[in-house]
Amino acid sequence: MKARGNFASKLGIILATAGSAVGLGNVWRFPFMAGHNGGAAFIVLYFGCILLLGIPGMVSEFIIGRHSQSNAARAYYEISGGQRRWRLVGYLGILTSTIILGFYAVVAGWCLQYLFASLMGHLSGDADYVLHYFQSFSSHPWKPVLWAVAFILITHLVIVRGVQNGIERASKLLMPLLLVLLVLIVIASCSLPGAMAGVEFLLKPDFSKVSGGVLLEALGQAFFSLSLGTACLCTYASYFSRDTNLLKSAGQIAFLDTFIAILSGLMIFPAAFSVGVEPDAGPSLIFITLPNVFQQAFGHLPLLGYVIGILFYALLVFAALTSTISMHEISTAFFAEELNLQRKKAAWIETLVCILLAIGCSLSVGAVDSLTLFGQSLMDFCDMLTAQIMLPLGAFLTSLFIGWVVDQRLVHDELTNQGTVAEGLFRAYQFSVRYIVPLCILLIFLHQFGVL
Ligand code: TRP
């Protein structure tokens, strides 16, 4: 097999993995999911899912990827000692990440448009204007489609330039910058009049709103945000070095990812309550809330508001890009290595499929109302299907696989780096992937489908 792309530094690949995790899932999806499900109570369940199911799930994918050093499908096959049926979990991951990339690109395209609009100063006006701006833009017959396609093509470009030049270099600088900016905007948002109601919404749980559906949404959001359940982490871990501490890396990335999600909540809800946007506004939530923050919170310093708005959308676009790259890479690595194609050609296959999907998704929430499946727009359907069914299924199968199928000595050696780290945690990890993770996912599924 030809040499695989590699990352220049240990820090680079860990940052790239964090870059995959941190994206629109944190800044866009987390707030609207929390808003839709009652705020604080959802967040408590979300924390539970990250700790109990997310971290062990990440470690499992890391083990499979690093041990086999190959693409998603082959990794499962090889580490199972050559059982062909386990390739299917890899295929499931490739399919899931392709669907996610399809609708994710639509939202990333909205961000690109907002970057452009804030540069041009088109987003200034009162709360009604901002709401109307989003509605008329997102239902425009071709504009949002073009932005989505543009976003996929940008992803494609980075992917064909190779892992090292593309993904790694970009991740190092801009991620820390995003964090700093988020903190700044949180402060601005919390200083708006009436903002404290939003903070309360995030911090005071009302468990009467919690049902089985909320639990599944929290689980889906946790997996989505950690990039878990599609062999994405497995693909990235195939570039990890032998002495990376898998458990520690998973913990650090999960912590950072959750921290950014909470910051995003603290950025959106105080402002939403202040300007009168309903917390359950759905996917449009950040787009109809944020422009108000940039104008109102910086009312006395309009230039600062203008610059911060532009910087914010630019960094959001970048965060989305490091995530779309990771989704794209799963399929590109697979097609290149399994079909023996040049990386460039392999990347085109994924790019074209995603472009078609993105066009459908974008039209379904705008110009073409009739693009529905099971009573939902194609876009909402893809989101629901992946986050609430395919990701949990992928994580469930991976957990059973690592707990019961893979040689446990191998699992031990990978987790502990041949007995040098985390030795005491092996039993706990093993118990968790054998019993806790599969059982919890199963129970949540059964509950959702009315069996329990
Ligand atoms: N985690 C990313 C986010 O929060 C999205 C993402 C990237 C993803 N790769 C993935 C989600 C693989 C599921 C599977 O924006």
CATH number of the domain located at residue range(s) 10-448 in this protein: 1.10.4160
Q: Is 264 in the pocket of ligand 1 (CB under 6 A)?
A: no
Q: Is 100 in the pocket of ligand 1 (CB under 6 A)?
A: yes
Residues whose CB is less than 8 angstroms from the CB of residue 452 and which lie 6 or more positions away in sequence, other chains included: 443, 446
- 208 pLDDT more than 60: yes
Distance 100 CA to ligand 1 centre (A): 8
Mutate to test the pocket of ligand 1, among 26, 326, 330, 334 (most ligand atoms within 8 A of CB): 326
Name the residue ranges covered by the structural domains of the chain.
Answer: 10-448
Q: Is 24 in the pocket of ligand 1 (CB under 6 A)?
A: yes
Overall average pLDDT of the 304-319 stretch? 93
Structure tokens at 245: 């501490």
Dihedral sign from CA coordinates of 8, 11, 12, 13: positive
Overall average pLDDT of the 234-245 stretch? 91
Question: Atom 9 in ligand 1: which residue has the minimum CA distance?
Answer: 227
In ligand 1, which atom is closest to the CA atom of 323? 7
CA atoms within 13 A on the CB side of 354: 34
In ligand 1, which atom is closest to the CA atom of 230? 14
Contact 117, 290 (CB under 8 A): no
Question: Atom 7 in ligand 1: which residue has the minimum CA distance?
Answer: 323
Question: Atom 8 in ligand 1: which residue has the minimum CA distance?
Answer: 227
Q: Indicate yes or no: pTM above 0.85.
A: yes
Looking at residue 210, its pLDDT comes to 77
Mutate to test the pocket of ligand 1, among 106, 230, 321 (most ligand atoms within 8 A of CB): 230
Residue with tokens 């948002």: 189
Looking at residue 90, its pLDDT comes to 94
Percent with pLDDT over 70 in the chain: 95
Q: Is 224 in the pocket of ligand 1 (CB under 6 A)?
A: yes
Looking at residue 1, its pLDDT comes to 33
User: What's the pLDDT band for 5 if we cut at 50, 70, 90?
Assistant: low
Between residues 390 and 298, which one has the greater pLDDT? 390
Overall average pLDDT of the 296-312 stretch? 89
How far apart (Å, rounded) are the C-alpha atoms in residues 96 and 382? 9
47-103 per-position pLDDT tens digit: 999 999 999 999 999 999 999 998 999 999 999 999 999 999 999 999 999 999 999
Structure tokens at 104: 């994710």
- 212 pLDDT more than 70: no
Give the mean pLDDT of the chain. 92
Question: Atom 2 in ligand 1: which residue has the minimum CA distance?
Answer: 21
User: What's the pLDDT band for 189 if we cut at 50, 70, 90?
Assistant: very high
Question: Atom 12 in ligand 1: which residue has the minimum CA distance?
Answer: 227
* Alpha carbon separation from 109 to 142, 293, 314, 393, 409 (Å, rounded): 12, 21, 12, 28, 46
How far apart (Å, rounded) are the C-alpha atoms in residues 214 and 218? 6
123-182 per-position pLDDT tens digit: 988 899 999 999 999 989 899 999 999 999 999 998 888 656 656 666 777 888 899 999
Looking at residue 176, its pLDDT comes to 86
User: What's the pLDDT band for 7 if we cut at 50, 70, 90?
Assistant: low
User: What's the pLDDT band for 8 if we cut at 50, 70, 90?
Assistant: low
